[in-house]
A and B are shown apart, each in its own frame.
Chain A
Amino acid sequence: MINNLKILIHQGKQYIPDVTNAEIPGIFRGIPVISNEKVDKKALEEICPTQAISINPVQLDLGKCTFCGECAIAFPNKINFTTTYKIATNSRERLVVKEGEESLIVLNPDLIRKEISDYFSGSLKLRQVCAGGDGSCELELGATGNVNFDMGRFGIEFVASPRHADGIVITGPITKNMAAPLQICYDAMPEPKIIILAGTDAISGGIFIDSPALNRSFLETHHVDLYVPGNPIHPLTFINGILDLIRKRKA
């Protein structure tokens, strides 16, 4: 008992008091800023492992980006990754950052379905499905519930059964072998339900998009409510994205 109290005292307070304004220590690759500087565009396009960079005009698709930072290292005056971690949005197009544009990535309130804020603003239970994810996004999703990030304080939790879930969080590029289990899990959830794609692999297939071992047809037939980019996602990106999704009401 005394030892337990000692540990509690030694640990002190570990939670991040305000997860919507926390600073990430050290370097972090969040929203990129692309300057209008003239560079060898072909070389810039060539450097990206996942064809996230397109030219004329130069733009970077965060849904494809692995955040490796190679482009910013080779062309420091052209691309600069800021530490802004709020990069989740509900519009796939909004993930494309254009040359000379400096604005925050936010959710489009018009695209948020009314039932999301009606039903889920105070409590949201999520079922995570890993469909070919390498385990990194899964570790970070697990971290959202630890004592540091403590997502549970907002009533947002991961649950075991799809029957208890209001939404599904998909990680990984969706393999052929997981396509059927994913569909079964989604079908088992009661309406209304939301779909969240967590990580570059889920959003675009990432480095795996050319592989014949994938089957991404689930995404062709279902509406995605939130895209959370990252490789892996940062817990703060995820938490802030969800909070924006469930708390923003249509005007």
Chain B
Amino acid sequence: MNAISIKNNQQIPFDSIPVLEYEQFLDYNTSLLHLDDNHCVNYYGIPYQGNIKLICCIANDKVGLINISSCLVELQKPLESFSQHHLAFEKFEREIHENFGIHFINHPWLKPVRYPVNQADKNSTIANYPFFKIESEELHEVGVGPIHAGIIEPGHFRFICNGEQILHLEIQLGYQHRGIENLFLQKKKLIELHTLAENISGDSVVEHTTAFVNLWETLCEHKTDGDLHFARTLAAELERIAIHTGDLSGMCTDVAYQLGSSVFGRLRTPIINFFQQWCGNRLAKSLIRAGKTNFHFSAELGETLKNVLDKFEPDFDEMCDETFGSPTVMGRFEKTGMVTNELGKSIGLVGMSARMTNINRDIRTSHPCNLYETLAHQPILKHHGDVYSRAQIRREEVKQSIAYIRDLIAAIPSENLNRKPLSQPTPNSFALSLTEGWRGEICHCAITDANGELLHYKIKDPSFHNWLALALAVRNNEISDFPISNKSFDFSYSGHDL
């Protein structure tokens, strides 16, 4: 047996994961990725009895299973890279190299990922990142960041341009690294772990916290109450509406379309104010808790939400029609920042960045958690992979989410007043939790020790897969189109840097 197949939110004894020889480990996992139905949801290493245990999780989107395999390797021994067979492993191998110093043979370039505190090479600092360079008198470089012009998170973009045209872009991240995965092990109280999960990425609070609580309940073998499933699903769709709407505003700003910028910007307000009414926080921090909720979704809240959406929807439709009918906007959106289907598959895109280039990848359909099993979600796909496709996906996903929410609030479950207390996590276990945030799939993996305490915690934000798409999308674009391309993807810096 090469791997053990598990479902989303299933726990298994850690020692039931097959341990393969490296050659077999490489063959098995890279050959899986030659099929379009499979994609890599996580690949990472943990320190294990003086060596490193590599754990690879490949999801089969057709049958809804995740194949987990592992391999024990020595620190000093160079390994043949997965990336030479499939580029989707490129970032994962860089991360393993950065954390442990394992050398991968035939990897394109083992560059630093985020300069973590526990990096293997203590001499590597964020100030001496090895950028790709071209020696030429015709070309020039443009460096942007880490601090950007707007109110956004830090990251450095290094362009190599031929006049106004971008030949190459390299994105250097790591400025946001807070050591969050280590804090998951350091902190022992459940409320602290909730707080950490809520602070992974501030625009995906609901989905990261849901990934954590689903995982925690799985580890504790706790059956999730129906009203909690309901609240998590509803909150996820609300978050999608809020961020997509805000991003449409940002995209209008970046093409200097003032009306769309203002109207979409203000349309986000009632949605996040609804979170405020529900849980006292506009970005839904404090809403999601393992095994309980502090803020039951009452019938009155359902009525309020219905009114919010009734007012939101016509305004949103009207503004979308006008925006997408405006030649000045379309002139900037169409054929800008394009990613082809082939490229998207080769680098392993996830989430809306995959769907905009006709890759049917959506955890809500393939590995559903919470109420998505009953929602029968149909992913929205676009074909062109340009800024316009990303704008269209946002528009249509907002509409889809509104429809889901209307269905959901038609039957609000009553609060379970006899909640079972959470037990301790099962000792010596491995569990994996996937959710589909507005940006794409979020994957949290946990391993417990003999006392049921966390031995290892791994977080993967969709941005980890997707940042490369931005660097490739802007090639041959004018540098003035970079802001709109960047905003149309809207990747997370903090989710990537952890």
Given A135-B203, A181-B146, A68 contacting B175 (CB threshold 8 A): no
* B116, B147, B187, B191 interface centre (most CB from chain A within 10 Å): B147
Q: Are A27 and B277 in contact (CB under 8 A)?
A: yes
- In the assembled complex, A92 has its CB within 8 A of some CB on chain B: no
- CB proximity of A216 to chain B, nearest CB, Å: 12
- CB proximity of A43 to chain B, nearest CB, Å: 12
- Please count the residue pairs between chain A and chain B whose beta carbons lie under 8 angstroms apart in the complex: 198
Chain A contacts with B in 98-147, Cβ cutoff 8 A:
128-143, 146-147
- CB proximity of B472 to chain A, nearest CB, Å: 24
Complex formed: what's the CA distance from A10 to B263 in Å? Answer: 10
Chain A contacts with B in 192-223, Cβ cutoff 8 A:
201, 206-208, 210-214
- In the assembled complex, B152 has its CB within 8 A of some CB on chain A: yes
Q: Are B195 and A66 in contact (CB under 8 A)?
A: yes
Q: Are B151 and A138 in contact (CB under 8 A)?
A: yes
- In the assembled complex, B420 has its CB within 8 A of some CB on chain A: no
Complex formed: what's the CA distance from A147 to B276 in Å? Answer: 19
Q: Are A10 and B315 in contact (CB under 8 A)?
A: yes
Q: Are A212 and B179 in contact (CB under 8 A)?
A: yes
Given A68-B285, A207-B196, A147 contacting B262 (CB threshold 8 A): yes
- In the assembled complex, A152 has its CB within 8 A of some CB on chain B: no
- In the assembled complex, A24 has its CB within 8 A of some CB on chain B: yes
Q: Are A181 and B276 in contact (CB under 8 A)?
A: no
- CB proximity of A159 to chain B, nearest CB, Å: 9
Q: Are B263 and A11 in contact (CB under 8 A)?
A: yes
- CB proximity of B182 to chain A, nearest CB, Å: 7
A137: which B residues are within 8 A, CB to CB?
Answer: 202
Complex formed: what's the CA distance from A48 to B192 in Å? Answer: 8
Q: Are B266 and A135 in contact (CB under 8 A)?
A: no
- CB proximity of A153 to chain B, nearest CB, Å: 14
Closest to B176 in A: A132
Complex formed: what's the CA distance from A29 to B282 in Å? Answer: 11
Given A25-B276, A175-B175, A210 contacting B183 (CB threshold 8 A): yes
Given A134-B494, A210-B183, A178 contacting B146 (CB threshold 8 A): yes
- In the assembled complex, B174 has its CB within 8 A of some CB on chain A: yes
What per-residue 1/0 map shows which CB atoms of A1-45 lie under 8 Å from chain B? 001101110110010000000001111110000000000000000
- CB proximity of B112 to chain A, nearest CB, Å: 11
A214: which B residues are within 8 A, CB to CB?
Answer: 178-179
- In the assembled complex, A55 has its CB within 8 A of some CB on chain B: no
- In the assembled complex, B244 has its CB within 8 A of some CB on chain A: no
Q: Are A206 and B151 in contact (CB under 8 A)?
A: no
B262: which A residues are within 8 A, CB to CB?
Answer: 146-147
Q: Are A139 and B283 in contact (CB under 8 A)?
A: yes
Chain B contacts with A in 285-342, Cβ cutoff 8 A:
285-286, 294, 314-315, 318-319, 321-322
Q: Are A148 and B192 in contact (CB under 8 A)?
A: no
A142: which B residues are within 8 A, CB to CB?
Answer: 150-151
Q: Are A49 and B147 in contact (CB under 8 A)?
A: no
- In the assembled complex, B154 has its CB within 8 A of some CB on chain A: yes
Closest to A205 in B: B178
B450: which A residues are within 8 A, CB to CB?
Answer: none
Q: Are B319 and A7 in contact (CB under 8 A)?
A: yes
Q: Are A132 and B494 in contact (CB under 8 A)?
A: yes
A67: which B residues are within 8 A, CB to CB?
Answer: 280-281, 285-286
B199: which A residues are within 8 A, CB to CB?
Answer: 134, 136, 201, 206-208
B176: which A residues are within 8 A, CB to CB?
Answer: 130, 132-133, 172, 175, 177-178
A29: which B residues are within 8 A, CB to CB?
Answer: 280-281
Q: Are B259 and A7 in contact (CB under 8 A)?
A: yes
- In the assembled complex, B117 has its CB within 8 A of some CB on chain A: yes
Q: Are B202 and A139 in contact (CB under 8 A)?
A: yes
Q: Are A47 and B265 in contact (CB under 8 A)?
A: no
Closest to A141 in B: B151
B263: which A residues are within 8 A, CB to CB?
Answer: 7, 11
- In the assembled complex, B140 has its CB within 8 A of some CB on chain A: no
B205: which A residues are within 8 A, CB to CB?
Answer: 136
- In the assembled complex, B414 has its CB within 8 A of some CB on chain A: no
Complex formed: what's the CA distance from A180 to B146 in Å? Answer: 10
- In the assembled complex, B31 has its CB within 8 A of some CB on chain A: no
Q: Are B200 and A134 in contact (CB under 8 A)?
A: yes
Complex formed: what's the CA distance from A175 to B196 in Å? Answer: 16
- In the assembled complex, A86 has its CB within 8 A of some CB on chain B: no
- In the assembled complex, B20 has its CB within 8 A of some CB on chain A: no
Complex formed: what's the CA distance from A81 to B179 in Å? Answer: 31
Complex formed: what's the CA distance from A66 to B269 in Å? Answer: 22
Given A24-B276, A26-B280, A130 contacting B115 (CB threshold 8 A): no
- In the assembled complex, A50 has its CB within 8 A of some CB on chain B: yes
Given A27-B279, A27-B280, A135-B153, A207 contacting B202 (CB threshold 8 A): no
Q: Are A181 and B175 in contact (CB under 8 A)?
A: yes
- In the assembled complex, B194 has its CB within 8 A of some CB on chain A: yes
B269: which A residues are within 8 A, CB to CB?
Answer: 143, 146, 148
Q: Are A7 and B318 in contact (CB under 8 A)?
A: yes
Q: Are B318 and A28 in contact (CB under 8 A)?
A: no
- In the assembled complex, A234 has its CB within 8 A of some CB on chain B: yes
Given A69-B294, A148-B269, A158 contacting B115 (CB threshold 8 A): no
B179 in complex: contacting residue of A73, A213, A231, CB < 8 Å = A213
Complex formed: what's the CA distance from A130 to B192 in Å? Answer: 23
What per-residue 1/0 map shows which CB atoms of B58-75 lie under 8 Å from chain A? 000000000000000000
Q: Are A136 and B177 in contact (CB under 8 A)?
A: no
B202 in complex: contacting residue of A133, A160, A178, CB < 8 Å = A133
B322: which A residues are within 8 A, CB to CB?
Answer: 3-4, 7
- In the assembled complex, B411 has its CB within 8 A of some CB on chain A: no
A211: which B residues are within 8 A, CB to CB?
Answer: 117, 178-180, 182-183, 186
Q: Can you spell out 5 A-B residue pairs with CB atoms less than 8 angstroms apart? A: A7-B259, A49-B191, A49-B194, A67-B280, A208-B179
Given contacts A7-B318, A178-B146, A211-B117, 16 further A-B contacts (CB under 8 A): A4-B259, A4-B322, A6-B318, A28-B280, A129-B147, A132-B175, A133-B153, A134-B494, A135-B201, A135-B492, A135-B493, A148-B269, A175-B175, A177-B497, A181-B154, A213-B178
Q: Which residues of B contact A (CB under 8 A)?
A: 115-117, 126-127, 146-147, 149-154, 174-180, 182-183, 186-187, 189, 191-192, 194-196, 199-203, 205, 246, 259, 262-263, 265-266, 269, 273, 276-283, 285-286, 294, 314-315, 318-319, 321-322, 492-494, 497
